[in-house]
Chain A
Amino acid sequence: MTKSVMIVGVGGQGTLLSSRLLGAVLTAKGYDVKVSEVHGMSQRGGSVVTYVKYGEEVYSPIIEKGEADYILSFEQLEAARWLPFLKKGGKLIVNTQKIDPMPVVIGTAEYPSGVIEAISAAGADITSIDALSLAVEAGSSKAVNVVLMGVLAAKTDIAYETWVEAVKATVPTKFLELNLKAFDLGYNY
């Protein structure tokens, strides 16, 4: 059975590192894996989405409405935007950070209130977390991606050590300590 994980957020938040890390973990576990990334224009502060799929044999690299077992959202509004992609019974992990999209910045639209509550009311199994504060606690606001990966890791049946090995293989050595701390903060959340 193929499992699907969506990683969504705002261009520049480091979603690509998360999908690479997840891809490394799943490959190490011996799964067939496909990861579909976003490069180019949409990376510039736009809504970004990365698909990770694994199982015995994976065909399509993309995830569609009602197909995701997990959605990992780096930002509140993006969680609501991509909610229709969550499978019934799927799990959604959301960073409570809010980043105003340009229509909100220039006043042509409003950032909706009660996003987390609305997602919950729609029937999603939601975990919300202030990953930005934990990333800052670990040493850098840029480590939001690794904190969130820690939260996801704790919800899977893949061993802690496998994740740590992947973090070691994915992040630059000089930021390793910081990222391991960030991962633990998420894992133990």
Chain B
Amino acid sequence: MAKELIIGNEAVARGLYEGGLRVASSYPGTPSTEITEFISTYDDVYSEWAPNEKVAAEVALGASIAGARAFCGMKHVGLNVASEPVFTGSYTGVNAGWVIAVADDPGMHSSQNEQDSRHYAKAAKVMMLEPSDSAECLEFAKKGFELSEKFDCPVILRLTTRVAHSRSLVELGERNDIGVKEYTKNPGKYVMMPAMARSRHVVVEQRLIDQAKWAESCELNKVEMNSTKIGVITAGICYQYAKEALGKNASYLKLGCVYPMPVDLIRDFASKCDKVYVLEELDPFIEEHCKTNGIEVIGKEAFTVQGEYSQSMIASVILGKSTDSLATDLEIPARPPVLCAGCPHRGLFYALKKQNVTVSGDIGCYTLGALQPLGMIDTCICMGASVSALHGRNKADTANEKKSVAVIGDSTFIHSGITGLIDIAYNASNSTVIILDNSITGMTGHQQNPTTGKNIKGDPAAAVNLEALAKAVGINRVRVVDPYNLAQTETAVKEELAVEEPSVIISRRPCALLKYVKHEKPLKVNTEKCKGCKACMKIGCPAISFRDKKAVIDFTQCIGCGVCEQLCKFNAIEKGE
């Protein structure tokens, strides 16, 4: 078959497909999202977006126990959410293979922390594989099912952003569909109550010993001997960086299986090299394994636990090489990400700014409301925390409970905001929760969710009625506003803050980037009328700039949402023709 240039995530999807995947359930999260999006293009695989990663992992484990090769995928922080079924799934083991993909984000391109998910493999006593390019993504995903069944264990496939989102060439293969295996009732294996779990723990410990033995000679761990002056022990993307930086000037031990790790293989490799470096991003996971086993290596003392590695970093540390580069003496302003022109969140944040409230924020595009000139997010912790942290704030500081709100997107609210809202209703805090319902999961690139009325394939599906849901959990005051209407939005915020009971405001307007959203003609500034007062610039719209003492609207960006129009006292912003 022809070679295709595809991102690591698509290659994972392809590998799972070729490996006989039958059921996939995930929650979107950069940099893992595209795996499940690509899976959804295969008609002979059942796929879905789950409300959160814990649900997704449980769906996958349930499918595996029933006898179908199953998958769930998530970003690193999603594994925190999914960890409960993963830890216990390590004890139950599988029936058909279960592969879990987790995508770490060194350098935090799109994340709130830089955690190293390899610790989960060790903590949950689960095998973990780490590919270094798209071809390995395909191969390892496929292999994951075989290993999962061979060892009766979930297998985690660990990616990092550069592997997940880089395109490289792969060769596609045929699908091997093993069908649905027979399910046999086996409470000793699948019912994890204390007596059974105790005997399963014995199995888990023996399995780790067996896997470590297998890792000594498995084909996923490769030795490449070149010059023995420098030895490199590495895995994942760092292998590629090392190869580019050092080429044949070093020998390599590339670990495809990063947990459990071999000991003799590493010791033997290290003994043949003069100086041995461990090259791994984030925590010294491989390094500590080496040092625990008395193998002398150089690791984090020469490198870093923060951010990404690269070929030049490796060349500089190991070879002392540096590269010349061109530069100007211009002062170059930063270009941070912004809420898009026409983003419905903008009007809502402006209304909050006018009320000068404390805003408990959450994970999504609207986290960008934290940046100037809006600057209207006080906290951003994790999925759903806006709602529960607001409840905590209001219980701690009742004097200011009328001066604080939570903001949370539709998808994030379903993920884990609803449980916080139940807490607010049940334990009665005078909290106002604003659901930013833009009818899509935005930041990760437009995935459907349980509120949108469509499933992963875009087919009609049951839609959560947010108004009815809020009422059903015990919130009596629920109202809907259009964030493009500043006066209406401001009034709603003011009134709901004033009342002596919990309330929910649904700020509803579809994401301006959705294909079905009709854009108005770009607005224009009438330069005769514009006084240069900059009132329109208070909302931080990227389409508005200031030239020659007048506001200017960029026609390539403006979608005519009209929010700036409402701020102009001189009627200088006019509809475009």
CB < 8 Å neighbour of B338 from A45, A61, A108: A45
Kindly list chain B residues whose C-beta atoms are within 8 Å of the C-beta of A10: 335
Task: State whether the Cβ of A141 lies closer than 8 Å to any Cβ in chain B.
Answer: yes
Kindly list chain A residues whose C-beta atoms are within 8 Å of the C-beta of B244: 59-60
Indicate whether A35 sits within 8 Å of B166 (C-beta atoms), given known contacts A65-B312, A106-B373.
yes
B333-A40 in contact (CB<8A): no
Separation of A23 and B244 alpha carbons in the complex (Å): 20
A42 to chain B, nearest CB (A): 6
A40-B544 in contact (CB<8A): no
Task: State whether the Cβ of B123 lies closer than 8 Å to any Cβ in chain A.
Answer: no
B323-A110 in contact (CB<8A): no
B440 to chain A, nearest CB (A): 14
CB < 8 Å neighbour of B310 from A41, A62, A101, A114: A62
Task: State whether the Cβ of B326 lies closer than 8 Å to any Cβ in chain A.
Answer: yes
Task: State whether the Cβ of B194 lies closer than 8 Å to any Cβ in chain A.
Answer: no
B162-A84 in contact (CB<8A): no
A141-B555 in contact (CB<8A): yes
A102-B542 in contact (CB<8A): yes
Separation of A60 and B444 alpha carbons in the complex (Å): 25
A102-B371 in contact (CB<8A): yes
The stretch of A115-123, A148-156, A173-181 that contacts the partner chain? A115-123
CB < 8 Å neighbour of A37 from B165, B311, B332, B546: B165
CB < 8 Å neighbour of A80 from B332, B443, B544, B546: B332
Chain A residue with the shortest CB-CB distance to B328? A118
B168-A61 in contact (CB<8A): yes
A46-B542 in contact (CB<8A): no
Kindly list chain A residues whose C-beta atoms are within 8 Å of the C-beta of B336: 46, 101-103
Task: State whether the Cβ of B167 lies closer than 8 Å to any Cβ in chain A.
Answer: yes
Binary interface encoding of chain B residues 489-506 relative to chain A, with 1 for a CB under 8 A from any of its CBs, else 0: 000000000000000000
Separation of A104 and B328 alpha carbons in the complex (Å): 19
B167-A111 in contact (CB<8A): no
Chain A residue with the shortest CB-CB distance to B542? A45
Chain B residue with the shortest CB-CB distance to A61? B166
Separation of A94 and B568 alpha carbons in the complex (Å): 35
CB < 8 Å neighbour of B165 from A23, A36, A44, A85: A36
B328-A12 in contact (CB<8A): no
Separation of A84 and B326 alpha carbons in the complex (Å): 5
Give the interface centre of B133, B332, B340 by most chain A CB atoms within 10 Å. B332
Task: State whether the Cβ of A91 lies closer than 8 Å to any Cβ in chain B.
Answer: no
CB < 8 Å neighbour of A34 from B167, B241, B334, B546: B167
Kindly list chain B residues whose C-beta atoms are within 8 Å of the C-beta of A38: 109, 165
Separation of A125 and B169 alpha carbons in the complex (Å): 31
Kindly list chain B residues whose C-beta atoms are within 8 Å of the C-beta of A162: none
B310-A32 in contact (CB<8A): no
B166-A34 in contact (CB<8A): yes
A65-B325 in contact (CB<8A): yes
Kindly list chain A residues whose C-beta atoms are within 8 Å of the C-beta of B528: none
Kindly list chain B residues whose C-beta atoms are within 8 Å of the C-beta of A60: 240-241, 243-245, 310-311
Separation of A58 and B544 alpha carbons in the complex (Å): 42
A5 to chain B, nearest CB (A): 13
Kindly list chain A residues whose C-beta atoms are within 8 Å of the C-beta of B312: 64-65, 67
158-175 of chain B: CB within 8 A of chain A: 162, 165-169
Separation of A11 and B334 alpha carbons in the complex (Å): 13
Indicate whether A33 sits within 8 Å of B326 (C-beta atoms), given known contacts A42-B110, A101-B336.
no
B30-A37 in contact (CB<8A): no
Separation of A103 and B167 alpha carbons in the complex (Å): 33
Task: State whether the Cβ of B324 lies closer than 8 Å to any Cβ in chain A.
Answer: yes
Kindly list chain A residues whose C-beta atoms are within 8 Å of the C-beta of B30: 39-41
B512 to chain A, nearest CB (A): 11
Separation of A104 and B162 alpha carbons in the complex (Å): 31
B310-A42 in contact (CB<8A): no
Task: State whether the Cβ of B556 lies closer than 8 Å to any Cβ in chain A.
Answer: yes
Task: State whether the Cβ of A147 lies closer than 8 Å to any Cβ in chain B.
Answer: no
Chain B residue with the shortest CB-CB distance to A34? B168
B540-A121 in contact (CB<8A): no
Kindly list chain B residues whose C-beta atoms are within 8 Å of the C-beta of A114: 330
B327-A84 in contact (CB<8A): yes
B167-A39 in contact (CB<8A): no
Task: State whether the Cβ of A69 lies closer than 8 Å to any Cβ in chain B.
Answer: no
Indicate whether A42 sits within 8 Å of B337 (C-beta atoms), given known contacts A80-B332, A141-B555.
yes
5 inter-chain pairs at a CB distance below 8 angstroms, sorted by A residue, are: A38-B165, A39-B30, A39-B110, A41-B368, A114-B330
Given known contacts A39-B33, A108-B372, what 10 new A-B pairs fall within 8 Å (CB)? A36-B167, A39-B30, A41-B110, A44-B368, A45-B337, A61-B240, A64-B323, A99-B554, A100-B545, A142-B556
